[in-house]
Homo-oligomer: A and B are copies of this chain.
Amino acid sequence: MINIAILGYGTVGSGVYEVFRTNKALIEQRLGEPIHVKYVLDLRDFPGDPVEEVLVHDFDTIVNDPDISIAAEVMGGTGAAYVFTKKALEAGISVCTSNKALVAEHGRELMQIARDKGVSYLFEASCGGGIPIIRAINDSLIADAIDEVAGILNGTTNYMLFKMAEEGSDFDEVLKEAQAMGYAEADPTADVEGHDACRKIAILSTLAYGKFIDYHDIPTEGITKITTEDMKYAKAIRSRIKLLGLSRETEEGTIAIVAPFMVNESESLYNVNDVFNGIYVHGNMLGDAMFYGSGAGKLPTASAVASDIVDAAIHLHKTVRTNWNNEPARMVEPGEAEWNFYVRTKGVKITEAESLFAKPKGVQIPECPEEMAYTTGMMKQSEFDKAVEKLGDKLISSIRIFNRN
């Protein structure tokens, strides 16, 4: 029997508890031995909940119990979660987590401790919720050189952008609606400013390219400036606006960004709508692959944490092999990265556009007769920035266009 502890009985923690209760027999059959939730740590009490039998309030009970070989850290944040994870790993307990903030912030140190202690620090649930993207990158693409990862990694913003496009509502309306439905938090900053997606693409890219990518080095733009007019232009060019976490491995180094992109209907990511997540990966042998599913939610996320727990149980007292590497990646300067752009102007004529942008193609929509928008050929970010500066107040907005390598 393998004894585990769940640190935190919030949404994901109660989900993990439910997975091991509901699928107990099945997991035992697949693993060859039972997994027993010996402790659930939470500061609160839960009178009447079956968790009461195993509830403890003191982390020391867990870390000092030699029976415990695996812990699920599903508390979130980088405070107590960091302290407990570190102590657990140092005590020879493998830790499985959904905590992208902690992995992005302290992953280097925690992975090193896990390796030194011969245990595992696993985080399938940290990116893409239930979508098994991390195992795909680590194991399934083990014979491939991955050169691109592009993901819709945040369900809240994907829901909001989809609603804006479908219903013609503006950002503030849709945010209120998303908050009312529980999809967006009271303070939506982490989602709408792209911070959540930034941590996720940092983690995925670190695994994809086998070099550490610091999330601080990833230029990050949110969706707060996207307007209903941008949505109409998107439709006119058969695209949807998606918040992408995107990275590319090039000869010059790693490009990484979080920003809204125009995604054409020919792309598989175009059809990742509502609260769903989708992650596109390109391997030099595999070619294109996409992984799609629930990017958040109690049970999908818990399913991913539970799969890591079973993996840690299969590899007890070993470090599960992953592509994680603490050596820092060589990052391409953001200004050097090349993109196609959509740029919306106050009636800038094609001759002027041609003097500023690579191969501009005009787009007009009946709703905005005074305006002229362009899509451009590939341009360096720094050159594009200079060009729009010259436009002055004739610039209304600009958004990158997703084009695969």
Interface residues in chain A, defined as those with a beta carbon under 8 Å from any beta carbon in chain B: 15, 18-20, 22-23, 26-27, 29-31, 124, 130-132, 135-136, 139-145, 210, 268, 271, 283-294, 297, 299-300, 302-304, 306-307, 309-311, 314, 321, 323
CB of A285 within 8 A of CB of B297, answer: no
Whether A307 contacts B131 in the complex (CB less than 8 A), given A286-B300, A292-B289, comes out as: no
How many copies of this kind of chain does the complex include?
2
A310: chain B residues at CB < 8 Å are: 142-143
Query: Complex: how many Å from CA A29 to CA B322?
Result: 11
CB of A285 within 8 A of CB of B271, answer: no
Whether A293 contacts B290 in the complex (CB less than 8 A), given A145-B23, A285-B19, comes out as: yes
CB of B283 within 8 A of CB of A287, answer: no
Query: Complex: how many Å from CA A124 to CA B22?
Result: 29
Least distance between A208 CB and chain B CB atoms (Å): 12
Query: Complex: how many Å from CA A288 to CA B27?
Result: 20
CB of B321 within 8 A of CB of A303, answer: no
Query: Complex: how many Å from CA A59 to CA B234?
Result: 59
Residue of B nearest to A35 (CB): B143
Residue of B nearest to A310 (CB): B142
| Listed A/B pairs (10) with beta-carbon separation below 8 Å | A19-B144, A26-B210, A30-B321, A130-B286, A131-B289, A135-B139, A139-B139, A268-B271, A288-B294, A291-B291
CB of A293 within 8 A of CB of B286, answer: yes
A307: chain B residues at CB < 8 Å are: 139-144
CB of B26 within 8 A of CB of A145, answer: yes
Query: Complex: how many Å from CA A293 to CA B268?
Result: 10
Least distance between A98 CB and chain B CB atoms (Å): 14
4 tightest A-B CB contacts, nearest first: A132-B140, A143-B306, A289-B293, A285-B303
CB of A141 within 8 A of CB of B132, answer: yes
